[in-house]
Structure 1
């Protein structure tokens, strides 16, 4: 007879996500996971597979919980440019908090730590970026069609610039304790939408 799980796999996955997000993949050992999740090593392997498989499941969970909010913000009816501005400002605000080091964005962290040599991570990162770029492009195209954005502006190029900016805000926010750095950069980029 198979034993029943004596832990909540959903709660364990969330705990693993938080640990990977705070420490990164390489700095998180299997012993760290066992301790943080409060379950045995055999249970971790039986439920989630290897450390890499657990990381991928945690990254998938992160993507599922983050991207829908961006979709809602950029797809709302009405003027599109205020939604784009609000999104960039939210990224800047989340990235820059006085004197408090942030975990950054798990997608951005994965891009810098693992994507250069891990194809599975690279594919998830690229898919996430493509989704955000597409949403920005759509919102900026609507803004141009509604007369909010000057006719000569290229919505695709602006969407790419904002995507790169938002990812950069996460990196700088994680490494710097100076929130004015990310706020100033965001505002300068948003000035290009005028």
Structure 2
């Protein structure tokens, strides 16, 4: 009979997500992971199957949170420009305050591009973000907030790509003025 698990797997996934986000997959060694989680390697393997299994769970949690929080913010009632400006500037603030923290999605894309499971998770997350943005932009178009014949799908794809660029530039230690200028330029795409 197997012993009951003596640690909370949700807490472990959250803690591992933070370590993977700051250290990356390869630098987050098994000794670092087990020390952070306060468990032995046997317990980690029993709960997650492998380091890859833990990473996949951490990345899923991160990705699920992205689309959900984006959707909540964009439905909060502000016009599309105000909502997007607030979201983008909040990212700028977070990225400039702690550039070493990085974006787990960007890091996964770069560090694990040869790992099919990770690539699929990233693709799924980007599709979800694009979908949330498309829906918000379609609502904005109905309310008359988009200029001309702007395509919500094209704008959503541009913004999805732009967001990842903001995270990369944050990790590259771009200063706040640079990133704020980029945000202003991106928002002009809505005109």
Q: TM-score, normalised by structure 2?
A: 0.90
Q: Which residue of 91, 104, 114 maps to 1:117?
A: 114
Assess if the C-alpha contact under 8 Å between 2:79 and 2:140 holds in 1: yes
Assess if the C-alpha contact under 8 Å between 2:81 and 2:187 holds in 1: no
The CA distance in 2 between the partners of 1:11 and 1:138, in whole Å, is 32
Deviations 1:39-89 (A, max 9, x none): 111111111111111100111122233321111122345633432332223
Q: Show the counterpart of 1:106.
A: 104
Question: Once the 2 structures are TM-superposed, how far is the Cα of residue 177 of structure 1 from its aligned partner?
Answer: 5.2
Assess if the C-alpha contact under 8 Å between 1:34 and 1:41 holds in 2: yes
Assess if the C-alpha contact under 8 Å between 1:75 and 1:135 holds in 2: no
Alignment of 1:1-194 (within 5 A): 1-77=1-77, 79-97=79-97, 100-114=98-112, 116-176=113-173, 178-194=175-191
Tell me which stretches of 4 or more aligned residues in structure 1 moved more than 3 Å: 75-81
Q: Which runs of 5+ in 2 are unaligned?
A: none
For 1:25, what is the secondary structure of its paired residue? helix
The CA distance in 2 between the partners of 1:166 and 1:78, in whole Å, is 19
For 2:165, what is the secondary structure of its paired residue? helix
Count matched residues. Answer: 191
Higher helix share: 2
The CA distance in 1 between the partners of 2:78 and 2:17, in whole Å, is 36
Change (3 A) 1:30 1:74: same
Give the alignment's Cα RMSD to 1 decimal: 1.8
Q: TM-score, normalised by structure 1?
A: 0.89
